[in-house]
Every structure is written in structure tokens, then in C-alpha cells.
Structure 1
Amino acid sequence: MSIEDTGLSIGQSAPNWSAESMGQEGETNLSHDALEGQNYIIYFYPKDNTPGCTTQACDFRDQMARLSSIGYKVIGCSPDGLKSHKNFQTKHNFSFDLISDPEHQVAEQFGVWREKKNYGRTYMGIVRSTFVINSEGIITHVFDNVRAKGHVQRLIDALS
């Protein structure tokens, strides 16, 4: 897969998304507009509490101080509901928001709801991807179809 698979490119305005999320303060509505003036990283993952997704989320958790120090807010997004997100956050002590996207509207806006193949089965689902958005709302980095393990370090290396 390549950057073209998302339909988005570096230098382009980020989609104007909006969705319910679970954060430190509980349920809230989070949107691109609400993050205006902030640098943020939005990463898409298939499912809470699965091995790869947990590894990736824990890596973000473990690097939050570093990401914050270079000016980035982190947001995760999956099709899971808010209750699942709350359990996932509590179990692993995540301090970042998790967007609930059960109808995959945000995922579609970012071009990461795509056909996948696994063990001979073809289905639609989230392709693990990360987008970095600057304070002007412009996409500065796209990491498409990434491996969970080591991704956060590769992201930090690219941002440093």
C-alpha cells in the first residue's frame, strides 16, 4: 500500500471530521475544528484490546511525554464503541482520546476504510494508518498500512 491509497497527500488540508470520543474527562465530541491551532496525530487501528492494537496504543502511551514536548496531541480512532474505549483506556492507562467511529465515517474521510485480505478472506476494515496534522490543519506526514510494532518510534524519528 502507498500514500496514494488513502486519497490524501502531504500538504493537503485534513478532512473536517467530527466524532464522539472517550478521553480523560469522559465522553466528549471531538473534531478537526476543535483542534484548530494545535498539532495533532490521528492514528487509525482496527480493534481495542487486540495484540497489535494494544502494542501500538501502549507505545503511544509510553511516548506521550516526548510527543507532547515536541508539540503534538495524540488521538486514536477505531470502530469500537465508547464503552470499549473506556475499558481499553482504563486497562492500559491511556491519557489520549479515542474516537468511536462505528459507522467508519472518519475512517472513510481519511481513506483508511478499505478492502483487506486475511487468511483468504476479503472484507472491509481499518487499514492501520497514521496522519500528522499541523496547527494550520495541513497534513504533514502520512504513514499508511503500518506495522504496529515500532511504528511510534518511526513516527517520532520522522518528527524529530
Structure 2
Amino acid sequence: MIEVNAKAPEFCLPNQDDVEICSRDLKGKWVVLYFYPRDNTPGCTTEACEFTEALPDFADLDAIILGVSADTTKKHRNFIEKRDLGITLLSDEDTKMMQEYGVWQLKKNYGKEYMGIVRTTYIIDPQGVVKAVFEKVRVKGHVEKVKETLAELQK
């Protein structure tokens, strides 16, 4: 995991429209970068919908929201259309970015071990420095906590 006050690793990934989004182009803005396991699953859908509902609040805090999973850009497009999402989703199919951010980890489910995404959110300041880390996120109430933390960091 990336520590608070560490420089956020640079990235360039395609969004749902196959447009490359690079961290260097986000300098000067606050970034809420959240990693989630898979499109169209219950927890991931709730999280994406809540971030979409809160978009105006995050815009007031001069922050953009980026969701990242290993799903394809096509799956992201379908997810956005199906759920009427307003956030940007990035596709990290080779998991390189997730590995750099420390969220691609060994997981266990029903006694089986496998590599997967640990739900994690980072708040990155306009200079590209990590200012908050939410590890092993529980979806309920998470978006509100991120919003409160972001507002506090900007004081």
C-alpha cells in the first residue's frame, strides 16, 4: 500500500471511452482514486452509484473521481450505461497500476487463495501526493467518509 504523504505512482490508463487518462494531466486537481473488484456486482454498483450521486459535492471541493478495476473498457461502458453513472472508470487489465498502488493482493474465499483487488480509496492532492488512504473499504457510508476527509484536508 502507498503511505500517506508519499508521491502517488504515475499512471496512464484507458477510460470507458478508450481515451487515455494520465496522472500528469490531473495535476492541480484533487483526485479521489478508488479501486474496486468488478463492474455490476452489488458492492461495486452501490459504491459507483453513491460516488455518482455525490459528484456535485466533490466538484464543489475541486475533486475528480476515478474508479479503477481490471474490467475491460467495454465492460465499463456497459456498467456506466446500465447504472447511469457519471464517474470516470479506468481499465487496468494487466493490473500493473493496481500492483504499484498495492491493491492487487492475495485474497482468500471459501478456503481458496487467489490474487484480486482489495477495495481501497486514495485521496491525492493537487501536487500528486497521497493525503489519505482507506484500506479494505466497507461500502456503506464510505463515500460520505471520503467527502468529509477531503473537506478536512482542504482546510
Smaller-chain TM-score bracket: over 0.9
Could you tell me which of 122, 133, 137 is aligned with 1:146?
137
Instruction: Answer yes or no: is 1:134 the counterpart of 2:152.
Output: no
Which residue of the partner structure matches residue 71 of structure 2?
80
List per-residue Cα deviations over 1:74-105 (Å, max 9, x = no partner): 00000000110000011111122101111101
2 CA distance for matches of 1:157 and 1:122? 35
Query: What's 2:3 paired with?
Result: 9
Structure 1 unaligned runs (5+)? 1-5
| Residue in 2 that maps onto 1:3 | none
- For residue 54 of structure 1, report the CA deviation from its aligned partner: 0.3
Match of residue 33, structure 1, among 5, 24, 33: 24
Structure 1 stretches of 4+ moved >4 Å: none
Identity across the alignment (%): 37
**Structure-2 separation of matches of 1:64 and 1:146:** 19
Q: Deviations over 1:28-58 (max 9, x none)?
A: 0011111111111110000000000001111
Once the two structures are superposed, the pairs formed by residues 46-125 of structure 1 within 5 Å of their partners are: 46-125=37-116
- The TM-score, its normalising length taken from structure 1, stands at 0.91
Give the aligned residue type for 1:139.
V
Distance 1:37 1:79 in 2: 27
1:28 aligned partner, one-letter code: V
Greater mean alpha carbon deviation, residues 108-117 or residues 87-96: 87-96
Equivalent residue in structure 1 for 2:36, among 31, 45, 53: 45
TM-score, normalised relative to structure 2: 0.94
Matches of 2:26 and 2:149, distance apart in 1: 22
How well do the aligned residues superpose, as a CA RMSD in angstroms? 0.9
**Take 1:104 and 1:149, find their aligned partners in 2: how far apart are those partners?**
26
Q: Distance in 1 between matches of 2:53 and 2:112?
A: 34
2:119–2:136 CA contact under 8 A, matched in 1: yes
1:27 deviates by 2.2
CA contact (8 A) 1:17 1:109 kept: no
Q: What letter is aligned with 2:67? A: G
